[in-house]
Amino acid sequence: MDDKKKHILKAAMRVVIAYGFKRVSMADIAQEAGISRPAIYQIFRNKDDVFFSCLDMLVDEAFAAADAAIDGISDRKAQVSAYLLAYMGYFHNLLVAGPHGQELLDVNNRLGAEKSQAAQARFMTRLNGLMGLDAEAEDGQVLALAATGIKYHTADPAQFRARLQMLTERFL
């Protein structure tokens, strides 16, 4: 992704997190990015297109954070736990802890369901790999689904981390 596009997407995320998707206009994104509205339209067709690109960026950032979290960890159980916490924690901080989390989830379900399903499948495959299992094993799916439930139903960050730790301690 080129620097200009990434700059616009970062600006878009800042205003969407602050004000919600519905209230944000392309003019708001342009102002936050410090560029003109026509400059944004040279890269993106509309606000939904910006949202789709934001999803791609966020998923890439979440996987990068999760990969970085396990760097230097050799114990398999500790790797899975750190990976799960970093990946799920990235989205927990963004969606659950934020003031417009429910709205963003609704928009994601309406516009980005396929992208989210692909990311979830990639995440499950990665968990299976960390556990030393075949990519298609059901263990990664069960762990990811349980962690997703914890993510959406635990608002307090400390409790979220404790519950994910408990999940990995009991599951692995």
> Going from the N-terminus, what domains does the chain have, and what CATH number goes with each?
3-171 (1.10.357.10)
pLDDT, one tens digit per residue, over 52-72 is 999 999 999 999 999 999 999
| Those residues with Cβ within 8 angstroms of residue 165's Cβ, 6 or more apart along the chain or in another chain | 81, 85
Give me the pLDDT at residue 152, please. 87
Identify the CA nearest to 83 among candidates 72, 61, 97, 68. 68
> What 3-state class would DSSP assign to 55?
helix
- What's the pTM? 0.90
Measured distance CA(14)–CA(61) in Å, rounded? 15
What's the pLDDT at 83?
A: 97
Could you say which residues of the chain have pLDDT below 50? none
DSSP 20-60: -TTT--HHHHHHHHTS-HHHHHTT-SSHHHHHHHHHHHHHH
- The per-residue pLDDT for 101 is 79
Return the pLDDT at 113. 85
